[in-house]
Structure 1
């Protein structure tokens, strides 16, 4: 949303920058840390150093999805200033060791308005105004309106300084709150002297066991110290320090943190700050950021207002790529490992906060260009996590595995760096660790290895996991090839083709395979449990390792281009469950979430680079603004910004590990990458304007460049890339030998067959049609362990049946050594429903949890403990009302029905279940209602069977189950609505 408040923000930001920076030439003056603090950007405006351990920033929000960073631009109150924050994540954590200057001893943070006392109700939080707020790299300043206290913050890597200016003759009190934000496991305040305290805070949030230690030094001794409830340690520790106002209005507080111990925090403070003043540390921070931002220098000749905005967006994006991963090691080399033990590193710096599902796409490839040395540290950090924790991490946070997101994307980060010639780590060990991640049996990998895809009924987000595992496997194959491991190369290049097994040739979309049929009914707009934060539109173009293969599956270049066109012109709405991450929609392209990030560049692969240029230009200008909500989705630890940095320069890494960057369109007349070895790679655009967004021609180092991609080696060698721009599509780089390719041509697999038509649960009979995504491939099948025979045409089954199938592809000239290849053997159990049995549903289930359709509750298939596996039928904020018709009068002894509870996923048992029976369908006899304590908190998933005694002849059975509706107070989703999950009404 763009409105007048955004305009005021831009004008105010310009004023702040001009006031705080003496030279407009400083690149730090173009960084606006408030970009992303509004909307769903989830960034914070406070002070940090490049990839630093400390993030000293204001906290304006205590919880909620848009409070993940602790700050949101729409808020009006500051609760205090804590020392750790996450940048752009979709899950909340950190906010450790909060300090807040105030003028009264009050331990209430002001968030609870239910208290009667006005003073306690107000608490120590303070109102603030953005007009009195300034942020720049390494510095933050705000005036607290309620107390008229001015707060300034600055940092070094592991330490920071608070500088408070109190009003003259006012009380000077500082609150230390160790209970702030997430659940405290243990905390402590140790008084060393009247100017020094230390302690720890151990907490449970996203990181289940985060251990943090601190050392705090005051510039003046406190005169009074008050503890909340006289407690210096425990789960609720707060203290108020009062300082003598007669000794001056300014108070400096120096703080250092450590994940190791209090001694480590003290040493960090002494080494980094010591006796240095606030201004000295601020100057050092600004100098450090200036040097960092100089790694890429851009220029543009557009009009002054647009020039400043574009440059501000670019350098803020570059700034955001340099915030995480975060240093996680003390000055003496000690750090806390994934085993929560203390380790020593003298050879590299250890890091945490790797948002790998996001950052493997563009942020880490950017680091391979401008942060080669730090990339080596990143990889060594990942490898020691493998040593200490037993597996490469997926999303490591503060020495904890969070297991967040899908794939094993530490693998492409390592492979991409190695294939680009980055060394400084043990390649053999790295490969062993990469392969180890791929050979696990959890998170769907057991099925993936056995069948070549993950069935819907085996694992949630099965389509996304299959696709992302396949890409990761390709990067393992590429590294295996580079280091001479032939067997591994064959295995993983075969696994890299598993994406073919979730491609439905009829709809041309990636779809879930439910008992070897396609998950149905199918709606590509539907956000459901088959995809990760996306729908089928947003995952059906994901096979970056074999784009040529994907193009062939879709029917060739013309069909692929048509499907891409439809992606960008489709209605910009989704169906199914609400997914806040799906933002920044252009049709069904969702720039606010990472699965879409490569798609605009895919036109290059079908000889239409001008369409890539159009779409990239549109995204650059529409999805990034110099405003608080100027990022179209979660910033995600640098990935959203890395897309912009690359794309604004004119190219993007569609396939990390391929060593290719696909050319889009430059946004600036000039961009210079200052490489670490002193070389420069310059990109310039002649005749560039908002309308001249198309490339007419290009030259690399003075020679014509007639291809729409460049190599990593060409960038790292230094040189000059010159684009000549025009206002209409040209024929530049449109020939077949001028376009990029990623393709798998060796160790080709035979895709697994699928059931194209046929009901897994049927009445009377069902016709079975088999299919396979491969030309000249035969399908063989067996019914109830009969001999396999070649599939020639559809066949019908009328009884409960076990169907086994496989596909086989023979070579043109079979030999004794080459008899062809077979797919994995697949098995499907077909159930026959009593043809006299029927069910009428008075309430509507959610299609994403349809359980198999209208007959799901009487099909004989029972739901498992994991609701995502597809057998459960889900009702959102609705009761279940169903009537089973037995077809005729029958003696019924019992009626039972199963319900699922998984409160962490918003699924609750019904509060009551009723059953009524009837002989004629009109006159029903009510059986005793059974009540359940559905709202009783539970951390465990469970299945409850409700049984009714009938013992009479009936034909109709009516089941009603009452959804609790509003999620109970205290639940994470309080304010939302509950789900009711039911499966299998059994009449005996």
Structure 2
């Protein structure tokens, strides 16, 4: 089966995979590096479009959207040159062509045609071998570069003898403090060792100032030079022990054979039978990619570096890192509950160890670091899903404690989520997505609580699981941001903005997999949900607002290249239309996955994109992990056999399968008619046969209500919180308030300032600054009380904006700059007005001639988000609105790199001069500075402004 693995799939386009050698869930990923700049396309270190290899490093990330790793670069060459060549000058990089490149599971080979050096690579779990064949016995050099890619924090190159060096590399990138140790042996003696810094004493064994070294070898017979390396997160002795234990004196051929034998056993976990060669390659490459991460992060002696960056000892289980949980909880981890049950136990034990070390389970951890990346607390559903499937070889009481601990934090919007039942836009960025994903995670806690007999927690988390209802807009049927308890406007469901995580309203509004029945009730019917799905798949395949490189693989507004869409095609089963699921799944399987380097429609994301393909091509998918149900789609292969760790086999057969026969006519499970469009986990793990009978047109199979899957929350129903459907939080003379609720049967109550609550019967007027409190009640149960501050703008003052702000950063609309509400440090909370590659040109009309003493305006700078201070701010005054005189101009210095987010107030003293009109012009810097990472994308700077004040 290893012959069907094509590691080049995903190395082009946006797949972000690497072609080098690794083992299943191994610590080492020994692969060529064609990128040194950390660019988005080159997150894995390699991109198929490149022409140069800079060397071969020993750690790589598979399919991520952020760059890191690329540790300990080694490059064979024919001269000493410490410049890598990235700057266009002569360097140690070498040209190569794909015609002279070969990648297999556990093995990689390339000819560096600039130097005519042939390179072969293979690995064990924590160690690897390079094989270099030089063209002649002369000029045989190897460059060791510890500075490659990331910011170097600390380093050591230590020559132990004529054939061995060791050291370490501490670096900063996505992981703020990554520590890696290495131990390298060479098959030929080191003739000379040259450091990149002059006067380094090569005879002493201590940390040198050099970050690079060139090794020259004595090789009179021009035999291949073998470079054996062990790595460790603990220390140099750990790296040595890993190398000697795993590889020792083994030959390159022996290690390669062991690697490919290991992969063969892994791939045999699922055997497919098809005459379509490309489909077989795509499937087994998906199996390969799904088993690259998470990665071992533990030496052979059981030592590892924990989330406290301290060294811990453990021999009871394997400890892992690189948990891309926002992606992988959806399908990759559910796949592991079928084919990797023992390793799933180790994953959960790892979560609990990280909980002990860092006092919280990981969200996206990398080499002992919390990256702060992505949303939710998705270690929780991984544990719940495994536990409910009977995978319990860990302290599940402690696991439940850790799950609750994750949910009971007050950070990342959780304080609002717990108290209000949703996250307001102004309190936290990506508020809609976080509300939805927290609700799902909490449902899985509730399911585990129920299984444990914990009624109190079952009640609490079942209620929280329904908080998705609080961001559902009953008018548009979309999940929307609640900004000051109104809906974020203007609303465009195509717009990618800070209310959603790597998505828009189209792509997140079906995210209630724990309660599709409740979502149908909110929409009004099954037909309404089906109508939404139909529109989703035929909508315009363009997005507006912020450019989001992760939104790829669009079919209408279904974005298969990013995870929030992955369950959507299967939702047709829930509305009695399984044939529509079958159509969409076949389309995605055949169009979005190909046997070529650009064969994955989005970031591979540590196995999630591949796990979707594996499940879907077999004929079912885990739409709601934690429910123990798989929703049936349509099979791609005539036969597939899942070989389970319990010794049993689950066989899937498809009769009459063809390109046209994509529809299911009937299904049998173990010889009995199976009229249901779903499958239970227990049906799989006890072994048996699932048999599909295919046809070329839609059938009536699984269309009756009793055969349709459901997810429903029927216990401890909440009352959704009401919202302000009409009314301006910042107003001039008065504003009319219309209140509504997603549940039309709920009764709304309101109070203004310190008055008593009264039933809401009809719209009312607010004409002065006030505090409005509202809640809803139904069946003697109340929602949370929501408080909204109303601001009155001086009715004499108006503003005209001569330049256009971006809708996703509108700050509350045209009056945002004079509404008295100040922006905070987080630009994504909706209070700033944003202008990209556009100046601010605003004119305030004071209503009459007034004595002005001071004018001020606030700007935000967050360089990581492309937000910069203006290059220049000018204040003008006028009596007639046509002729303006310059009052004062403020010039900013050319921007320099800075990490902190800052707010700067620019003001000018006017000394009582009289004006009716004040004009403020702030010039955007335009192109991002050349030193900024975004400059490689030809990025344009943002100007964020809030509150022009005139005293």
Residue 103 (structure 2) pairs with residue 103 (structure 1): no
Q: Which residue of 1 aligns with 2:472?
A: 503
Of the three residues 274, 284, 304, the one matched with 1:335 is 304
Distance 1:280 1:923 in 2: 84
The question of whether the paired residues in 1 share the 8 Å contact of 2:195 and 2:210 is answered with: no
Choose 790-799 or 845-854, whichever is displaced more: 790-799
Distance 1:934 1:655 in 2: 51
- The number of equivalent residue pairs is 941
Of the three residues 103, 115, 126, the one matched with 1:158 is 126
Q: Which residue of 2 aligns with 1:538?
A: 507
Residue 34 (structure 2) pairs with residue 73 (structure 1): no
Displacement of 1:969:
2.1
Distance 1:362 1:218 in 2: 42
The question of whether the paired residues in 1 share the 8 Å contact of 2:197 and 2:209 is answered with: no
Distance 2:700 2:60 in 1: 48
1:368-387 equivalence runs, <5 A: 368-387=337-356
Q: Which residue of 1 aligns with 2:149?
A: 181
The question of whether the paired residues in 2 share the 8 Å contact of 1:179 and 1:236 is answered with: no
CA deviations 1:254-282 (Å, max 9, x no partner) are 00100000000000011000110000000
Displacement of 1:248:
2.4
Q: 1:236 to 1:809 in 2, by over 3 A?
A: farther
Q: Which residue of 2 aligns with 1:797?
A: 766
Residue 170 (structure 2) pairs with residue 202 (structure 1): yes
Displacement of 1:409:
0.3
1:938-953 equivalence runs, <5 A: 938-950=898-910, 951-953=912-914
Displacement of 1:973:
1.4
Q: Which residue of 2 aligns with 1:709?
A: 678
Q: Which residue of 1 aligns with 2:190?
A: 222
CA deviations 1:105-131 (Å, max 9, x no partner) are 111100112xxxxxxx22000000000
Distance 1:40 1:923 in 2: 52
1:899-910 equivalence runs, <5 A: 899-910=859-870
Residue 731 (structure 2) pairs with residue 762 (structure 1): yes
Residue 112 (structure 2) pairs with residue 144 (structure 1): yes
Q: Which residue of 2 aligns with 1:827?
A: 787
1:685-724 equivalence runs, <5 A: 685-724=654-693
Distance 2:329 2:210 in 1: 39
Distance 1:168 1:856 in 2: 71
Residue 163 (structure 2) pairs with residue 168 (structure 1): no
The question of whether the paired residues in 2 share the 8 Å contact of 1:908 and 1:934 is answered with: no
Runs of 4+ residues over 3 Å off in structure 1: 230-236
Displacement of 1:233:
3.8
Choose 963-972 or 442-451, whichever is displaced more: 963-972
Residue 216 (structure 2) pairs with residue 256 (structure 1): no
Displacement of 1:934:
5.3
Of the three residues 927, 930, 935, the one matched with 1:969 is 930
TM-score, normalised relative to structure 1:
0.95
Q: Which residue of 2 aligns with 1:122?
A: 90
Distance 1:58 1:403 in 2: 28
Residue 948 (structure 2) pairs with residue 985 (structure 1): yes
The alignment partner of 2:929 has SS state of coil
Residue 837 (structure 2) pairs with residue 877 (structure 1): yes
Displacement of 1:222:
1.2
CA deviations 1:173-229 (Å, max 9, x no partner) are 111111111011111111111111111001011111000000100011111111111
Displacement of 1:235:
7.2
The alignment partner of 1:715 has SS state of helix
Distance 2:883 2:240 in 1: 79
Residue 744 (structure 2) pairs with residue 781 (structure 1): no
Distance 2:196 2:950 in 1: 60
Residue 64 (structure 2) pairs with residue 89 (structure 1): yes
Displacement of 1:588:
0.1
Q: Which residue of 1 aligns with 2:203?
A: none
Displacement of 1:874:
0.4
Choose 767-776 or 410-419, whichever is displaced more: 767-776
Q: Which residue of 2 aligns with 1:850?
A: 810
Residue 866 (structure 2) pairs with residue 892 (structure 1): no
Q: Which residue of 1 aligns with 2:539?
A: 570
Unmatched 5+ stretches in structure 1: 1-26, 114-120, 302-306, 811-819
Distance 2:209 2:460 in 1: 51
The alignment partner of 1:131 has SS state of helix
Distance 1:522 1:703 in 2: 50
The alignment partner of 1:541 has SS state of coil
CA deviations 1:45-88 (Å, max 9, x no partner) are 00000000000000001120011000000000000000000000
Displacement of 1:937:
2.3
Displacement of 1:249:
3.1
Q: Which residue of 2 aligns with 1:862?
A: 822
The alignment partner of 1:907 has SS state of coil
Of the three residues 420, 436, 448, the one matched with 1:451 is 420
The alignment partner of 1:983 has SS state of strand
Distance 1:236 1:295 in 2: 47
1:667-682 equivalence runs, <5 A: 667-682=636-651
Displacement of 1:922:
2.1
Q: Which residue of 1 aligns with 2:582?
A: 613
Choose 974-983 or 677-686, whichever is displaced more: 974-983
Q: 1:839 to 1:235 in 2, by over 3 A?
A: farther
Displacement of 1:576:
0.1
CA deviations 1:376-413 (Å, max 9, x no partner) are 00110111000001100100100111111000000000
Displacement of 1:245:
3.5
The alignment partner of 2:612 has SS state of helix
Distance 1:234 1:925 in 2: 63
The question of whether the paired residues in 2 share the 8 Å contact of 1:184 and 1:236 is answered with: no
Q: Which residue of 2 aligns with 1:813?
A: none
The question of whether the paired residues in 2 share the 8 Å contact of 1:614 and 1:693 is answered with: yes
Q: Which residue of 2 aligns with 1:118?
A: none
The alignment partner of 2:45 has SS state of coil
Distance 1:295 1:139 in 2: 21
1:280-679 equivalence runs, <5 A: 280-301=254-275, 307-679=276-648
The alignment partner of 2:589 has SS state of helix
The question of whether the paired residues in 2 share the 8 Å contact of 1:778 and 1:809 is answered with: yes
Displacement of 1:923:
2.4
CA deviations 1:929-982 (Å, max 9, x no partner) are 111225132211111111122211210000000111111122221231111010
Distance 1:170 1:561 in 2: 71
Distance 2:25 2:785 in 1: 49
Unmatched 5+ stretches in structure 2: 201-205
The question of whether the paired residues in 2 share the 8 Å contact of 1:179 and 1:235 is answered with: no
The alignment partner of 1:945 has SS state of strand
CA deviations 1:854-891 (Å, max 9, x no partner) are 11111111111111111110000111000000111111
Distance 1:155 1:860 in 2: 62
CA deviations 1:651-679 (Å, max 9, x no partner) are 00000000000000000000100001110
Displacement of 1:903:
1.1
The question of whether the paired residues in 2 share the 8 Å contact of 1:692 and 1:726 is answered with: yes
Distance 2:612 2:885 in 1: 64
The alignment partner of 1:878 has SS state of coil
Distance 1:689 1:170 in 2: 59
Choose 271-280 or 900-909, whichever is displaced more: 900-909
